[in-house]
Amino acid sequence: MSSRPLGVGVIGFGWMGRVHTQAYARVRHHFPELPLRPILTAVADDVPGRAAEAAENYGFAGHTTDWRDVVADPAVEAVSVTAPNFLHREIGTAVARAGKHLWIEKPVGLTRDDAAAVAEAAAAADVRTAVGFNYRHAPAVVQAREMIAAGELGTVTHARVRFFSDYAAHPDGALSWRFDRARGGNGVLGDLASHAADLVWFLLGDIASLVADTAVFVPERPRPAGATSGHSRATGGERGPVENEDYASAQLRLVSGARATLEASRVAVGEQNAYGFEIHGTAGAVTWDFRRMNELVVGRGTAYQDQPMSTVFVGPGAGDYAAFQPGSASAMGYDDLKVIEARNFLQSVHDARPVGATIVDAVRSAAVLDAMVESVNSGAWTAPRM
């Protein structure tokens, strides 16, 4: 099938910048019918040498330390923004106003207003958007959503969505921008609870109101001596205060009448990427654990009491599984979810319509996070400001 080349740029080349780049490189391997062919055109990163190394290793035609060069490049038609959260509003709006399509990581900025500003710029410029809510694209999650919509669990009564990780559990974890409120926003709320909020909506619908609590459990960390990448340590450095949240939880009342618990932690010792959900209905239940990404545990039938739960291995009939594996129980991984995201983004550019998670979903998730912060401050139930 013939395809049109599309020049793409990547702004920010830490771990997530590499993930986006690799997704662009792989996307037509898994989706050969895709009518657009991404061409790695420009990469920007302000860490000395990083952009040049990216160009050398991944084949970008050009590289720069100034993201504005990517936005101004006439050969770039679409841009991935994987820079730190506090830059998302400035860069995202600039990309949209330049008439370039935008794939941006979550959270889009530090607040709902930041995400809304990018959304307004994208709408005004009539450009397509994609946002990095990758967990909703897991084939097992898609299958769970279809089961719920089909009434296979009866009426959903209550659910638990949990995102626990230990990436910040070590007391010598470097005091990077992630722990600074001005640059990292509300900590684990943006990092992990944003995904949880998106999954609640994707699976169960809108949130009517919530009440929340947050905590900081590692109050000080050592300052790094230089640029940091990932979740590095800075043993022996001068210690400074952690300004944003390590842990967050919320009780949710859904518009459907169901109840849910949302919980997120970046300091959960013993938990490595323990992301998932448990959803209960009047006639069944389904659970998913990201660490067993291609499995669901399902209970359905007419027994009600003592109803058994069974492990189901998802296969080619679930979501986009067939683009990666030919039969059930063959593993997919995290990077595959970003390939699906890349396909959705590029398909949306071609079709001139939304495909998959968009900036609208980022605004919705950010509204939930803002409501959690407001609830913590007021001690009261709060309705998200959509």
What is the chain's pLDDT, residue by residue, as a tens digit (386 residues)? 589 999 999 999 999 999 999 999 999 999 999 999 999 999 999 999 999 999 999 999 999 999 999 999 999 999 999 999 999 999 999 999 999 999 999 999 999 999 999 999 999 999 999 999 999 999 999 999 999 999 999 999 999 999 999 999 999 999 999 999 999 999 999 999 999 999 999 999 999 999 999 999 999 999 987 655 557 787 777 999 999 999 999 999 999 999 999 999 999 999 999 999 999 999 999 999 999 999 999 999 888 999 999 999 999 999 999 999 999 999 999 999 999 999 999 999 999 999 999 999 999 999 999 999 999 999 999 999 98
Radius of gyration of the chain (CA): 21
Closest CA to 231 of 293, 179, 190, 302: 179
Dist. CA 370–CA 113, nearest whole Å: 10
Partner residues linked to 326 by β-bridges: none
Q: Is 371 within 8 Å of 381 (Cβ atoms)? A: no
Residue 386's pLDDT is what? 82
Q: pTM of the prediction?
A: 0.95
What angle do helix axes 112-125 and 88-97 make, rounded to 10 degrees? 10
Closest CA to 191 of 248, 236, 252: 248
Burial string for 141-161 (b: 16+ CB within 10 Å, else e) reads: bbbbbebbeeebbeebbebbb
